[in-house]
Amino acid sequence: MKKLFITSSLSLFSFFILCAQAESTKPNILFIAVDDLRPELNCYGAERSISPNIDRLAAMGTLYESAYVQVPVCGASRASLMSGLYPTENRFTWFGTRFDKATSNRYGKSCTGAPNIPDIPSWFKENGYKTYSMGKIYHYADDNTKAWDVIDRVGYFKAYQLPENQSKSPAYESAPVKYNAYPTGIMTDKIIQQMRAAKDSNQPHFFTAGFSKPHLPFVAPQKYWDLYNEEDLVLPSNYSFFPKNAPSSANSTWGELRNMYDDIPSEGPVSDEMALKLIHGYLACVSYTDDMIGMLLDELESLEMLDDTIIILWGDHGFQLGDHTLWCKHTLFETSMHAPLIISAPGYGSGQRVNSLAEMVDIYPTLCELAGLELPPHLQGKSLVPTMKNPNAINKKAIFGRYHAGETVRTERFQYSEWTNNDRMLYDHKRDPNEDINVVDDPKYSKVVEAMAAVLKKHREKISYDESTNLDALDQPENSAPSWNRSAFNQNQTRQPVATVGVEYQSYVNWRVKDIEGDQLTYAKVSGPEWLTMGNAQYGRLIGTPKKSDRGTNVFVLSVTDGFNPPVIAEMTLEVE
């Protein structure tokens, strides 16, 4: 009996050791959220922006050129991203959106959250991670507190340092102070301490860094303002006009700037001098946050954790800097919806750029796949991992967003929006990348409008659900299976039409397959004589040396799969002489 007890105890001890080892092999995560960050970064082609550390992160991993948010306002955008669910007419609708419960806006309209499904930190915590909410991750620091082991909002976004600003509320400030005089720097120091404490831990860590800048007010240490010469800054090319034929529903009063800062006029445009000062302040704040991100990367490197950490950087929406007479976000224009997305992960390529469309709702399944976690069944996004393996792969043909009574759908070329009052707009980004002319009523685009409206309607119907809906039944976006040019073929017209006994044979079959989405494909030999094998599953390379006993007609069954659909087979005939 005693011997049995000792044996059982040792087995139990071994089990816990194995569990601890399994936990320690999971990669750490650094989840970087940046408020109001449009792709005003050097790595995105904005030459005036000084962002060497975000550029460095892009060089380490994969940059998404065409990433878009679901809602152009912080609370709703973040709740959608963190839940992996699209917004609807009643869910994730306004800046005060919460994930963990319903809210109501100032007009009394109810907005539901998604408390009955696991958000990103809940899912990672359930899978053994220690989770940190540092800075602004959700709009409210106390949103879904049970998902976090550590919560620290670290100060108020209106943290002025100059004495003369303590009783005022200016839209910008440059102060001769150190980086950690403002909450942005204080938070960075705290995260570095967390990383150091986690260095020798057996538990994987889900670090977050929620940077509030470049959100208004544009406050940053003087050194970051000094990086830019205001005389070199220019106003946008479309600064003086609203898009031609654009409906009033598309406009914004930019109340966030106008109503919260006492150096901004209550009506009418800002002066050109103020506009340039605001642009200067925005860029200074981008460089300030960029410097803090560099400190985090340096710390991971010094702790020898950089190569074992998944790092993702995303913006919660874009930001207008005088574009089309607008400031702030709150519109369905490109300038509000387009945001940066960069992912670096162990084992994946560096310096990659993906042009295919991506959405922030895709982040949740991507992180799960990179960390080796199962995907919860409620997700409506699509993992971006295939594009990290093959940057030329097509991720999606259409992506979706909404704001209040308006909805929008974007393809590679067009963006179409419609409102419940029947206002509409269409932009042809091939001919009009700055969205200066609404062509929705141009007869030449009538078929485009009809098709885009149908796609938007189909999306609306697909994602609409209430609490009683079976979330397991919500499908991933459709993906077509690859197809062989012929279901049965021989090698007669190839460079090696026959195989010779005793001589190595080699041939590729990937050219015989088509895949509409451009997914990364995997080839396999299902059956046939043993001498021929699939030497390279990614490129469909067959290789082998036949023996005398293999002379004659050899028949092989091959398969190809895109990872989304069942394998598709074909029969190959090969003569051996």
Token duo for residue 306: 């950089």
- Measured between alpha carbons, how far is 473 from 377 in angstroms, rounded to an integer? 8
What are the C-alpha distances in Å from 10 to residues 3, 13, 18, 86, 526? 11, 5, 12, 49, 43
* Residues 32/211, Cβ–Cβ less than 8 Å: yes
Tell me which H or E stretch contains 14. Answer: helix 2-25
H helix or E strand, kind and range, residue 344:
strand 341-344
**Helical segments of 358-398, H only:** 363-371, 385-389
Q: Extract the tokens encoding 293.
A: 């991100």
Tokens at 567, concatenated: 């394998």
- From the list 74, 285, 328, 368, the catalytic residue is 74
Choose, from 139, 215, 324, 378, the residue flagged as catalytic: 139
DSSP 378: T
Asked if 74 is an active-site residue, the reply is: yes
Q: What is the DSSP string of 454-486?
A: HHHHHHHHHH---TTS-GGG-PPPP-PPPEES-
CB-based contacts of 440, cutoff 8 Å, min separation 6: 245, 416, 424, 425, 426, 449
Closest CA to 544 of 531, 562, 555, 528: 531
Report the alpha-carbon distance of residue 333 to residue 338 in Å, rounded: 9
Sign of CA dihedral 544, 548, 551, 556: negative
Question: What single-letter DSSP state applies at residue 170?
Answer: -
Nearest Cα residue to 72 out of 333, 247, 314:
333
Letter for the amino acid at 94? W
Least Cα distance to 187 among 205, 209, 165 occurs for 209
Residue 76 CB neighbours (<10 A): 28
Q: Three-class SS of residue 323?
A: helix
Contact in structure between 198 and 206 (CB atoms under 8 Å): no
Query: What residues have CB less than 8 Å from 84, skipping those under 6 apart?
Result: 119, 120, 361, 363, 364, 365, 376, 378, 379, 380, 381
Active-site amino acid positions: 74, 139
